[in-house]
Amino acid sequence: MATDISHAQNLEKAQEFLLTPAGIGAAELEQVMGRILSSKLDYADLYFQYSRQESWSLEEGQVKSGSRHIEQGVGVRAIAGEKTGFAYSDEIVMPALLDAAQAARAIARSGQDKQQAITIHSGHSLALYAPCDPLSSLEDTAKVALLEKVEQEARRQDPRVKQVMASLGGSQETVLVMRSDGVMAADIRPLVRLNVSVIVEQDGRREHGSSGGGGRTDYGYFLTEERALGYAREAVRQALVNLEAAPAPAGTMQVVLGPGWPGILLHEAIGHGLEGDFNRKGTSAFAGRLGEKIASSACTVVDDGALPGRRGSLNVDDEGTPTQKTVLIERGILKGYLQDRMNARLMGMAPTGNGRRESYAHLPMPRMTNTYMLAGETPPEEIIASVKKGLYAVNFGGGQVDITSGKFVFSASEAYLIENGRIGRPVRGATLIGSGPEVLTRVTMVGNDLALDSGVGTCGKDGQSVPVGVGQPTLRIDGLTVGGTEE
């Protein structure tokens, strides 16, 4: 019940903010939707959005630049079978909305099929975060002071720290979705992020380390539990480790992945390949494999957009569907795909709350939210002790996947050799490459130390970026190709 009350409040605020200034009420929305639906269509939606973002950045000890960005508009989408018509306007006014509706519905050639009367009613929503405004949650002077403190903390760690770059960003996005089935849903989404990056130097050798975090909350998050200072210390620690790193090995070997952010493995190897669009079209290496064993029995992987406050979480997705926990792999068996409404309908499945879009000017697609593997039972020390010779990788930069061949990469930014069950010397960053449908079959040990990442992930697909989360416990993979330089 509490969630319905908060949704009603969000809906009211979103309408007041997005629609009322343009004189758009229920009658006008019904008029626009009626115009779209006078063509023979399976589905249509209107997506209103207003977002405010800011960023502050520090280098050389001072906050020298900052920027604010405001974006608003409405996207109109019409779907007939597998065909999608799409148009948008950055002005939320009736004439622009009617123009966009006209352009979008042209996708359906046979018009005048049925004039559909629709009744607008409120959809359901979760309440995973407060509809707060991060930008006004802290005085501008305090934002600057926070970055300065982070910088000082990083420098205090070690005299070899030569450069500190830190940035603080926040946004608030108000969205309102109206669907052709009459459902109207709204969400007010805060998001904050703080990043620290340092350069250390010793005997002419320079290295880099970075850390950060955030979530769907306000800037107060960084002030509690010394989080911001923790990022500074972590960035320096990583950079100093890398100063000592030797060239990485090359070849296929046992790899132990640390908990948390290394879960980017799941995002690349499994997650993208299980998005509904690629499977409907048969272009994914996982297409047609539901019910098959694609991972060792130790592996259960979920995508969960309903975790409170996480970077990848949403009260409702960008099609007004409440998010949920979707089981992708259960004890090694492929159980489900990530769906938006269009692909779910075409595949005869249920939407999973994974319909997401970068903005009103982009089409929604099935996208991940927070993707992670459930904990196993083995203490991480035992996993490391079980490896005679291999690589222990604990921090990563980005990754990428070829959906069709299933080959994926992710690049380690902090890694160590394992020798005789012990963590040995650090090695330089290297790219790891594997095959999505095979890699989880080689997971032989799963740790009891599940962790989610600190809130730094951004996923790109077809040129659209959305915030996501990942997580996993410590994993042992028996055979992954490590792209170092030492044969």
Partner 1 sequence: MGAISVDTKGTPSLEDLAAQALDLAQRHGATAAEVNSGLGKGLSVTVRRGEVETVEHHRDKSLSITVYFGVRSGSASTSDFRPEALLEAVRGACAIARYTAEDPFNGLADPADLAKSIPDLDLHHPWDLTVDDAIGLAQRCESAAFTTDPRIHNSEGATVTTHEGVDLYATSAGFMGTVRSSRHGLSCAVLGEDDQGRMQRDYDYASTRDARDLPDPESVGREAARRAVRRLGSRQIKTCQVPVLYEAPVARSLLSHLVSAITGPSLYRRSSFLVDSVGTQLFPETVHLYEDPHRLKGIGSAPFDNEGVATRHSDLVADGVLRRYCLDSYSARKLKLVTTGNSGGVHNLMIKPGSEDLAGLLRKMGRGLLVTELIGFGINSVTGDYSRGAAGFWVEGGELAYPVEEITIASNLRDMYRGLVAVGRDVDRRHNICTGSWLIDRMTVAGS
Q: Which of 22, 98, 103, 385 binds partner 1 (CB under 8 A)?
A: 103
* 411 interacts with partner 1 by CB under 8 A: yes
Could you tell me whether strands 370-373 and 464-472 are parallel, antiparallel, or unpaired per DSSP bridges? parallel
Q: Which of 12, 16, 82, 113 binds partner 1 (CB under 8 A)?
A: 82
Q: Residues 235, 197: contact at Cβ < 8 Å?
A: yes
- Footprint of partner 1 on residues 285-304 (CB under 8 A)? 285
Q: Which residue has the tokens 């048969």?
A: 282
Q: Residues 461, 443: contact at Cβ < 8 Å?
A: no
Q: Which of 25, 111, 251, 379 binds partner 1 (CB under 8 A)?
A: 251
Q: Which of 41, 87, 264, 477 binds partner 1 (CB under 8 A)?
A: 87
Q: How far is the CB of 324 from partner 1 (least distance, A)?
A: 27
Judged by CB under 8 A, which stretch of 39-47, 111-119, 247-255, 368-376 contacts partner 1?
247-255
Residues 6+ away with beta carbon under 8 Å from 348: none
Q: Which of 20, 65, 458, 465 binds partner 1 (CB under 8 A)?
A: 65
* 465 interacts with partner 1 by CB under 8 A: no
Judged by CB under 8 A, which stretch of 6-14, 59-67, 120-128, 382-390 contacts partner 1?
59-67
* Ramachandran angles phi, psi of 311, nearest 5°: -60, -35
Q: How far is the CB of 140 from partner 1 (least distance, A)?
A: 5
Distances (CA, A) of 213 to 3, 181, 464: 27, 38, 21
Q: Which of 136, 152, 405, 465 binds partner 1 (CB under 8 A)?
A: 405
- Footprint of partner 1 on residues 425-454 (CB under 8 A)? 428-435
Q: Which of 201, 330, 382, 478 binds partner 1 (CB under 8 A)?
A: 201
Distances (CA, A) of 24 to 52, 94, 105, 120, 412: 22, 7, 20, 14, 51
Judged by CB under 8 A, which stretch of 33-41, 161-169, 220-228, 345-353 contacts partner 1?
161-169
* 227 interacts with partner 1 by CB under 8 A: no
Q: Which residue, 309, 303, 436, is CA-closest to 374? A: 303
* 158 interacts with partner 1 by CB under 8 A: no
Separation CA 88–CA 91 (nearest Å):
9
- Footprint of partner 1 on residues 320-349 (CB under 8 A)? none
Separation CA 219–CA 141 (nearest Å):
13
* 66 interacts with partner 1 by CB under 8 A: yes
* 59 interacts with partner 1 by CB under 8 A: yes
Residues 6+ away with beta carbon under 8 Å from 145: none
* Ramachandran angles phi, psi of 335, nearest 5°: -110, -30
Judged by CB under 8 A, which stretch of 39-47, 321-329, 349-357, 394-402 contacts partner 1?
394-402
The whole-angstrom distance between residue 336's C-alpha and the CA centroid of its chain comes to: 19
* 208 interacts with partner 1 by CB under 8 A: yes
Q: Which of 43, 88, 129, 221 binds partner 1 (CB under 8 A)?
A: 88
Q: How far is the CB of 1 from partner 1 (least distance, A)?
A: 37
Nearer to partner 1, 329 or 439 (CB): 439
* 69 interacts with partner 1 by CB under 8 A: yes
Q: Residues 337, 331: contact at Cβ < 8 Å?
A: no
Judged by CB under 8 A, which stretch of 25-33, 64-72, 123-131, 448-456 contacts partner 1?
64-72
- Compute the residue count for the chain: 487
* 257 interacts with partner 1 by CB under 8 A: no
The whole-angstrom distance between residue 390's C-alpha and the CA centroid of its chain comes to: 30
First to last CA, the chain: 61
- Footprint of partner 1 on residues 3-42 (CB under 8 A)? none
Q: Which of 184, 228, 307, 363 binds partner 1 (CB under 8 A)?
A: 363
Nearer to partner 1, 31 or 481 (CB): 481
Q: Which residue, 364, 121, 399, is CA-closest to 267? A: 399
Q: Rg (Cα) of the chain, in Å, rounded? A: 24
- Contact flags string 108-147 toward partner 1, x per CB under 8 A: --------------------------------xx-xx---
Residues 6+ away with beta carbon under 8 Å from 486: 247, 248, 249, 250
Q: Residues 356, 321: contact at Cβ < 8 Å?
A: no
CB atoms within 10 A of CB 235: 29
Q: Which of 3, 9, 31, 84 binds partner 1 (CB under 8 A)?
A: 84
Size of the site for partner 1 (CB under 8 A): 82
CB atoms within 10 A of CB 428: 17
Residues 6+ away with beta carbon under 8 Å from 34: 115, 116, 117, 118
Judged by CB under 8 A, which stretch of 39-47, 123-131, 205-213, 417-425 contacts partner 1?
205-213
Q: Which of 63, 316, 334, 443 binds partner 1 (CB under 8 A)?
A: 63
Nearer to partner 1, 208 or 293 (CB): 208
